[in-house]
Structure 1
Amino acid sequence: MAKFDVAVIGAGAAGMMCAATAAQRGLRVVLIDHAAKLAEKIRISGGGRCNFTNVNAGPANFLSENPHFCKSALSRYTPADFVALVKKHRIGYHEKHRGQLFCDDSAEQIIEMLKDECAAGDVHWRMPCKVESLAQADGGFVLETDSGTIEAPSVVIATGGLSIPKIGATDFGYRVAAQFGLRMVEPRPALVPLTFDAQQWAPFVEMSGIALEVDVETGSLKGRNPTGARFREDLLFTHRGLSGPAILQISSYWQPGTPITINLLPELDLAATLIEGKGTIKKQLGNVLSQWLPARLAEGLLLAHGFALDARLADMPDAQLRKLGAAINQWSLTPNGSEGYKKAEVTRGGIDTRELSQQTMMANKIPGLYFIGETVDVTGWLGGYNFQWAWASGVAAGQAV
């Protein structure tokens, strides 16, 4: 039987950060992962350059049924702290868009950095290694693995959510939570493309590949506790529905059976502009719209909303132009679902954070058992926020075990 002070299960972003932090405090740490290839989710992130944090990351950029939970960890390990680590390892980086930081070269540099940080604390590796069971024992836990028995007073679960199963995602963390009687917030795909009924989407299939900047919103934005959100980002038409940053962002807030509303021309009051131009613009309606929208999209929208392509703007009643303006500035449509975990960048939901200490990430009822990263019900926006939660929650547990 191998004995350690801490066993960290899951060698992704949060797990490696936690293991390195704990080991550099002088603890004897073992890091376990069932995959043969290390940190595949880091490797594929950001188009292979890893959007490793966002300079704007704060509690407002995260979703949770317990929204205050993330404040402690995020305040104690900030984007500036991670950037300092990146600089220490001489990794070049740049800001791309809205505070998103990427490696200049490759996501492999972040993986190597985390491996080096683990090595600095002499972390012991078990990989590939499958944990077959986890049980409480006197003074801690016993892990039965396919590489032998491990005993440790503290165990950290950093196995992530259900997103992207082809690179090894499992429900291990959720099964551990169930085993120890911890409540769950129902998991679901997040940061994911949305799909529509085939008949409803038929007029837009030929729009596949078109991208443009839009405003998109869903849910209620009013009151002290708004349930929805609004984003201005790029939208992408696909064969089955909508994708792009705007849709990935709003998908985390969208509730099944409810609509999303898209403003395809957020800088333009279309109805007012068309009505004002009736006296001077002699073009057909399709040609007029093509000033602001891709021609293919303009034609598709006109047909989908019952407007003739050859109708002249000057001949259109104001009421019809207001209808057209609403169809484009307030295009409301209801998804029938999403592309699911296979295309979701993260999992929303997970271990209910009301079961955990926000200072240490330890389960309140199970001393020595910790949950970090995507395993718990804290989900960040698109753009480096989820990595920042991985680093911050990993450090919080690594300092506490």
Structure 2
Amino acid sequence: MGERYEVIVVGAGAAGLMSAATAADRGRRVLVLDHARRPGRKLLASGGGHCNFTHLDSGPAHFLSDNPRFCISALQRYTPYDFLALLERYGLGYEDRGGGQLFCRQGSRAILEMLHGERSRAGAELRTATPVRAVRRHEAGYSLATAGGELACESLVIATGGLSLPRSGASGFGYAVARQLGVPVRPTRPGLVPLVLPAALQERLAPLAGISVPAGVACGDAAFHEALLITHRGLSGPAALQASSYWRPGEALHLDLLPGQAPREALEAQRRRRPRATLQRYLEGHLPKRLARAVVELHGLTGPLQGYRNADLDAAAAALADWRVTPVDTEGYRKAEVTVGGVDTRALSSKTLAVRDQPGLFFVGEVLDVTGQLGGHNLQWAWSSGVAAGRFA
């Protein structure tokens, strides 16, 4: 059976380190394994290196899952304020960059060092550059084959993340283990990822690459009002990234270039007051000039407003407040911040995060079918799910 531990955590990222420290605090003998020499690269990239470590309003409404109530228990038992208390114990500062999105003043590396400090303080051991080659279940728990030999444990925590940002070391290991051990896995797709537009529209919008405007982006029942960025290949920025987690191939996005405004009424008033004015001139008061010109040309909305019939005003308002574009693809996992889908949470206890018919097997973090919106929700899920499993592993 090789070396034996009470708990082995596979994955030394955010969720794995929280699980390890929590379990070790209970007196459990814990080992953390990671295939990378320097794990935690995805955490280091969070918030552009400044680590958007939580959102004060993190709750089930900010998560996407086929089992939407699953996340409630863990989020309620380890809240953003619990993580803030941990930061304060380590003397780390933070700032709210709008709407409850909290960033670490000392940066992402300080958060990673804090997590390792907690792991070390609690007595959990870490082995890096140690990929797991195989996992077997047996009566006493689980055995893991590694390059360094066989390991055994009573409780096994899988915290290996999803498929997003493969350059950070992401892989499908967690899904493979789940399937091997009979745990269902829901289909996965890239989330929080730039969207690719059809070639003809790309060509028309390419000269506008780099322009960012406040906008509304809706996909199905989900709608977001944040910055929208035009890229050489399509759409990015917070509004598009948020919508991408909900988008499926063939679906149209609904773009509102004048959020919070009533363009139909405004255009009618403009036609009365300044009948010789053009739609482009009106738009230049609300959008960058190059974007205003492109919108007018794309929709054929030229000429003075005095020549517009009511039906023309309706069409112009729709082009501004409900411009429908259908992406052809996303930029894929290489640019995705998260993976949507994953281990089916219906197979797990929402209290312990253990597989219901295999109480020694736990899954935490991004590997699960729980995906947060932009703004710190995904790291809060890492903290909350990691602690939930660590209390029972």
TM-score, scaled relative to structure 1: 0.95
List aligned pairs for 1:35-184, cutoff 5 A.
35-184=36-185
Residue deviations 1:265-296 (CA, integer Å, cap 9, x gap): 01221122111112332433322210111110
Cα drift, residue 184 of structure 1: 1.1
**C-alpha separation between the residues in 2 aligned to 1:205 and 1:161?**
32
Q: What corresponds to 2:332 in structure 1?
A: 340
Q: SS in structure 1 opposite 2:391?
A: helix
**C-alpha separation between the residues in 1 aligned to 2:40 and 2:183?**
27
1:298 to 275, 292, 316: 292
Moved more, 276-285 or 127-136: 276-285
Q: SS in structure 2 opposite 1:30?
A: strand
**C-alpha separation between the residues in 2 aligned to 1:286 and 1:132?**
61
Q: SS in structure 1 opposite 2:144?
A: strand
Unaligned runs of 5+ in 1: 220-227
Q: What corresponds to 2:385 in structure 1?
A: 393
**C-alpha separation between the residues in 2 aligned to 1:255 and 1:39?**
30
Moved more, 154-163 or 251-260: 251-260
One-letter amino acid of the counterpart of residue 117, structure 2: D
List aligned pairs for 1:345-364, cutoff 5 A.
345-364=337-356
Q: What corresponds to 2:272 in structure 1?
A: 279
Moved more, 343-352 or 359-368: 359-368
Cα drift, residue 399 of structure 1: 0.2
**C-alpha separation between the residues in 2 aligned to 1:289 and 1:73?**
47
Q: SS in structure 2 opposite 1:288?
A: helix
Unaligned runs of 5+ in 2: none
Residue deviations 1:97-117 (CA, integer Å, cap 9, x gap): 221000112111100100000
**C-alpha separation between the residues in 2 aligned to 1:333 and 1:271?**
20
Q: What corresponds to 1:245 in structure 2?
A: 238
CA RMSD of aligned residues (A): 1.1
2:247 to 254, 263, 287: 254
Cα drift, residue 367 of structure 1: 2.8
Q: What corresponds to 1:327 in structure 2?
A: 319
**C-alpha separation between the residues in 2 aligned to 1:213 and 1:200?**
20
One-letter amino acid of the counterpart of residue 234, structure 1: A
Q: What corresponds to 1:200 in structure 2?
A: 201
**Paired residues of 2:271 and 2:277 also in contact (CA < 8 A):** no
**C-alpha separation between the residues in 2 aligned to 1:324 and 1:60?**
34
Q: What corresponds to 1:16 in structure 2?
A: 17
**C-alpha separation between the residues in 1 aligned to 2:87 and 2:253?**
38
**C-alpha separation between the residues in 2 aligned to 1:139 and 1:56?**
41
Q: What corresponds to 1:307 in structure 2?
A: 301
**Paired residues of 2:371 and 2:378 also in contact (CA < 8 A):** yes
Cα drift, residue 215 of structure 1: 1.4
Moved more, 169-178 or 200-209: 200-209
Residue deviations 1:127-156 (CA, integer Å, cap 9, x gap): 011101110123111111012211111110
One-letter amino acid of the counterpart of residue 361, structure 1: L
Cα drift, residue 166 of structure 1: 1.0
2:228 to 207, 223, 235: 235
Aligned length: 391
Q: SS in structure 2 opposite 1:370?
A: strand
**C-alpha separation between the residues in 2 aligned to 1:262 and 1:54?**
26
**C-alpha separation between the residues in 1 aligned to 2:323 and 2:278?**
22
Percentage of matched positions with identical amino acids: 47
Cα drift, residue 181 of structure 1: 1.2
Cα drift, residue 11 of structure 1: 0.4
Residue deviations 1:80-124 (CA, integer Å, cap 9, x gap): 100110111110100002210001121111001000000111111
**Paired residues of 2:54 and 2:377 also in contact (CA < 8 A):** yes
Q: SS in structure 2 opposite 1:5?
A: strand
Residue deviations 1:194-249 (CA, integer Å, cap 9, x gap): 11110233221111111111111111xxxxxxxx2111111000011100000111
**C-alpha separation between the residues in 2 aligned to 1:283 and 1:266?**
22
One-letter amino acid of the counterpart of residue 116, structure 2: K
Q: What corresponds to 1:368 in structure 2?
A: 360
